[in-house]
Amino acid sequence: MKVLVVGSGGREHAIVHALSKSSKVTEIYAAPGNAGIAKLAMCVNIKDTDVNSLVEFAKAEAIDLVVVGPEAALAVGVVDEMTKANIKAFGPTKAAAQIEASKKFAKDLMFKYNIPTAKYESFSDYEEALAYVKANSIPTVLKYDGLAAGKGVVVAMTMDEAVEALKDMLLDDKFGHGKVVIEEYLEGPEFSFMCFVDNENVYPLEMAQDHKRAYDNDMGPNTGGMGAYSPLPFITEEDYNYAMNEIMIPTAKAMVKEGVPFKGVLYGGLMKTKNGIKVIEFNARFGDPETEVVLPRLSSDIYDAFVAIVDGNKPVLEWEDCYTIGIVLASKGYPGSYEKGFVIENADSDDIYHMGTKIDDNGNLVTNGGRVLFAVAKGNTLEEANKKANKLVDEIKCENLFHRTDIGAKAYKK
Ligand code: AMP
Ligand code: GLY
């Protein structure tokens, strides 16, 4: 079977790696892919949002299955167009992907169907928003929700910060002219629950936790994610049942009722608060870097599972009984400004996924993004996995990278 994976990050590298283990898959293509993916797949120079070229390529190569990674590709309708061209594609339609693209759509859906999430109000008038913030408690969460480009989330710990953020969003139109959603502040560990969804049917993947802050001990600015681990010792069976029965299954059913049935990976960004588990956000795709620690634990055939979802059958999902920890190596300066083009050596292991690399004109592997590499290790305990992942990281030679050393540590250090 021939498979085309759309995307170019660590997530897509992990998907390609999992597909390469399938006995059914003979050829893998990636559009556009990256330097690491190129070791396992044929990279084709097509942008992940160039729908027409992707469809033309898939037709010309008689691709049996397309797997879409990034949200941007879902949002421009890659799955819709592939399906119209009679090519099997794994992922939600553009309409269903709204659950990620529009905060208002997701929030309205959760309220209508009683899916637990933070209370919120939406405002376009600065004075009204200010009055609401003043009448409610601090901390509070302000999310820009306009149609214009850009998205801002501010967790305001003081009234001054909240007022500042409201001014930015509603008076100065820092992100464009739009609305602000003011949300109840929730507290507790966050975790990622990705499920394969086929209309009303929900098939859970193993859970993972991302680490969003740049430096050890959750210090520094928020990033796209600096590391992850799986599974999660702090999630009890009761938590799992609640997340399935009160959140993921009702959401899949709600999407069907709303006329936008979901197929693909539904990602619940959840928080375990002292008042129960609540939804922070939904994504319409595999998480990055969660995918890079979850898929290495999958022992069943991922190609069969993708096809089962596309065809409306029950997928087989079996997991290795071990822990995985993955550490991001990021360019110094990230998530702020950073330089590219530094040579990387000793990153040949199959357990290193590429997030932002390229081969330069001299044939060297060089840094080419904020997040550059992702080193994953397995262990019988989280501590063992952490040690092995750090060892893998220490072997990589590059003068412009930094990383966290404490991924997963909260779960095993008392
Ligand atoms: P979002 O883009 O909605 O996922 O928000 C980004 C981050 O802001 C989340 O990962 C949380 O860490 C934080 N956050 C969002 N909503 C809340 C909330 N209601 N209470 C506390 N933290 C939040
Ligand atoms: N790791 C967070 C995300 O994929 O959105």
Is the pLDDT at 62 greater than 60? The verdict is: yes
CA angle 361, 362, 367 (to 5 degrees): 75
Q: Which ligand is nearest to the CA of 270?
A: 1
How many residues are recorded in the chain? 414
**Distance from Cα 312 to the centre of ligand 1, integer Å:** 33
In the three-class reduction of DSSP (H, G, I as helix; E, B as strand; rest coil), residue 241 is classed as: helix
**Is residue 149's pLDDT more than 60?**
no
pTM (2 d.p.):
0.95
Q: Whose CA is nearest to atom 7 of ligand 1?
A: 153
- For a mutational test of ligand 1's pocket, the pick from 137, 138, 155, 273, i.e. the residue with the most ligand atoms closer than 8 A to its C-beta, is 155
CA of 306 from ligand 1 middle (Å) equals 30
CB 92, CB 101: distance < 8 Å: no
Q: What's the pLDDT tens digit per position in 71-105? A: 999 999 999 999 999 999 999 999 999 999 888 89
pLDDT tens track for 374-391: 999 999 999 999 999 999
- The pLDDT value recorded for residue 148 is 38
Mean pLDDT of 344-354: 96
pLDDT at 170 over 50: yes
**Ligand 1 within 6 A of 183 CB?**
yes
Q: Which DSSP string do the residues of 340-376 spell out, in sequence order?
A: ---B-BS---TTEEESSEEE-TTS-EEE-SSEEEEEE
One-letter amino acid for residue 48 of the chain: D
* % of the chain surpassing 90 pLDDT: 90
Structure tokens at 113: 């169907």
How far does the centroid of ligand 2 lie from the alpha carbon of residue 289, in Å? 7
Tell me how far apart the alpha carbons of residues 367 and 358 are, in angstroms, rounded to a whole number.
7
The better pLDDT of the pair 122, 400 is held by 400
Residue nearest to atom 5 of ligand 2 (CA): 287
Tens digits of per-residue pLDDT, 329-342? 999 999 999 999 99
- Which comes out higher in pLDDT, residue 175 or 80? 80
CA angle, 356 then 223 then 388, to 5°: 65
Residue nearest (by alpha carbon) to ligand 2 atom 4: 287
Q: Residue 101 C-alpha to ligand 2 middle, in angstroms?
A: 13
The closest ligand to the CA of 293 turns out to be: 2
Which two structure tokens, joined as six digits, stand for 26?
């003979």
- Please state, in angstroms and rounded to a whole number, the distance separating the CA atoms of residues 93 and 90: 9
Instruction: Quickly tell me which residue has 């608060």 as its tokens.
Output: 273
Residues with a CB atom less than 6 Å from ligand 2: 210, 225, 283, 287-288, 290
Residue 145 in this model has a pLDDT that exceeds 80: no
Q: Give yes or no for a cis peptide into 233 (omega within 30° of 0).
A: no
Q: What are the respective helix, strand and coil percentages of the chain, to the nearest 5?
A: 30, 30, 40
Q: Are 145 and 103 in contact (CB under 8 A)?
A: yes
Which atom of ligand 2 lies at the shortest distance from residue 287's CA? 4
Residue 151 has pLDDT above 70, yes or no: no
Q: Give the closest residue (by CA) to ligand 1 atom 13.
A: 155
Residue 319 structure tokens: 């997991």
Confidence at 11, pLDDT banded by 50, 70, 90: very high
φ, ψ for residue 19 (rounded to 5)?
-65, -35
Residues 6+ apart with CB under 8 A from 103: 143, 145, 181, 281
What the block records as the tokens of 68 is 């879409």
